[in-house]
Amino acid sequence: MDNDIEGSERWQLLDQPFTLEEFSKAVKLSTHAMTWGLKFSHNDAVIQEDNTFELDVTDTRGLLIDTSMHLTFSGGQKYDEYLFFRRVKPDIFRATIKLPKSGMFKLDVFGKAGTQKETSVHLVTYIIKCQHGKSNVQPYPKHSGLWGPSSNAFDIGFKPSITYNVSHKALHGNLSLNLPVDNVPASLLHLKGTSSEENLKHYSLLETKPGGLQIHLRLPRQDFYKLEVFCKTDNSESYHSVMSFLIDGFHGTSDEVLPFPKTFPHTQEYFCELLEPTTGVLPANTPIIIRFKSPKLVKGFVKCTDYNNLKENNNVWVAEVTTCETGGVLSVNGNNTGEKSCWSLYKFDIV
């Protein structure tokens, strides 16, 4: 036997031999991580970084059904809002990790495999040493686990094309998304920035059409936003979270950002598409034109000071009205039966 086994190619048992020093520095995978065939982009247990970096988890055997990460400072403070974890390919999960200050962080990775029905198990721990952290690092909105679609999104009928495109840039504060789905479900949106106190209820507009959901966003300030989509599933009256998107709003904003009008369940049911006006705030005592598309509507009217019937031409519904006094409400109503009673479709505030 050679005197120096470590350096002898003859006695190496690995396809890619490494030294004792490399072995001592290597990250220690849990039994589950090794059994499931998981590979990690960073081989050393200690990561030296001062800026934003990415870490990949490769699922070589296709067993991983869920995974999550937790970032903790040496003092025990949690910094999960500086993680953006998503699936980028069928077998690759990627985390973007920001370091908001100097010091030592611990990064724990958890996961659940298809053969495991219980809660997620610990897979690996990294130590991150940051010598020159930046205090102006912008966090992400609070989120737990992976961004993107949940498994029940595909049970509802959403297309697999939404799986990997979970981050979007809003130009000048505006963004439109199309989400293809086989059978359009009743849906709700929840838009949230990094401030939990900010009310953004009417800064998103959800429209439905055969084969998909059309989403429009207006962002009132430069920030990261979380857009969460909730849907009703078959035989359920409650809404369930089915997907979440990270919206990058650091690409300019409009001078004045006004919310969308309020919409209602029948706005979706009748496949209504708003053409004008697209803001939910209208000036008082002003002539305006209400115009929207709907292939299902049979009858409709606009109410502010008076009642004005909607007129239809090629599925476009129009009414010319004068808005009422400040503090009032302009409502658009309709049905698909032609009966006297109508459902609310849009509501605008008069200022």
Q: What string of H, E and C letters represents the secondary structure of 250-288?
A: CCCCCCCCCCCCEECHHHHHCCCEEEECCCCEECCCCEE
Q: What are phi and psi of 182, to 5 degrees?
A: -65, -60
Report d(CA 74, CA 260) in Å as an integer. Answer: 44
Q: Rounded to 5 degrees, what are φ and ψ at 348?
A: -120, 140
Give the per-residue pLDDT at 331: 98
Tokens of residue 212, six digits? 């998909």
pLDDT for 20: 55
pLDDT at 5: 45
CA 126 to CA 69: how far, in whole Å? 11
What domains can you pick out in the chain, each with its CATH number?
9-130 (2.60.40.10), 148-248 (2.60.40), 262-350 (2.60.40.10)
CA distance 1 to 19: 18
Per-residue pLDDT of the chain in tens (351 residues, 90 and over written 9): 444 445 455 555 556 665 655 556 789 999 999 999 999 999 999 999 998 999 999 999 999 989 999 999 998 999 999 999 999 999 999 999 999 999 999 999 999 998 666 789 999 999 999 998 888 899 999 999 999 999 889 999 999 989 999 999 999 999 999 999 999 999 999 999 998 777 899 999 999 999 999 999 999 999 999 999 999 987 778 999 999 999 999 998 877 899 999 999 999 999 999 999 999 999 999 999 999 999 999 999 999 988 999 999 999 999 999 999 999 999 999 999 999 999 999 999 999
Q: Which residues pair with 343 in a beta bridge?
A: 334
Q: Which two tokens stand for residue 176?
A: 């439109």
Cα of 36 vs its chain's centroid, Å = 28
64: left (phi over 0), alpha (psi -120 to 50) or beta: beta
Burial of 116 (0-12, 13-18, 19+ CB in 10 A): middle
CA distance 100 to 82: 8
Whose CA is closest to 196, among 255, 260, 252, 143?
A: 143
Q: How far apart are CA 283 and CA 286, in angstroms?
A: 6
Tokens of 329: 């409400």
DSSP assignment letter at 337: S
Res 25: pLDDT:
77
Residue type, 235: N
Q: Phi and psi for 148 in degrees, rounded to 5?
A: 110, -165
Tell me what pLDDT residue 9 has. 54
Cβ(196)–Cβ(280) below 8 Å: no
d(C-alpha 192, C-alpha 228), whole Å: 8
87 token code pair: 């699936």
Is residue 188 within 8 A of residue 206, CB to CB? The reply is yes
* Three-class SS state of 184: coil
Q: How far apart are the first and last CA of the chain?
A: 90
Calpha distance 23→45 (Å, rounded): 10
CA 68/CA 78 separation, integer angstroms: 14
Beta carbons within 10 angstroms of residue 240's beta carbon: 15
Question: Which residues partner with 217 through β-bridges?
Answer: 175, 204
**Dihedral of CA 199/264/331/207: which sign?**
positive
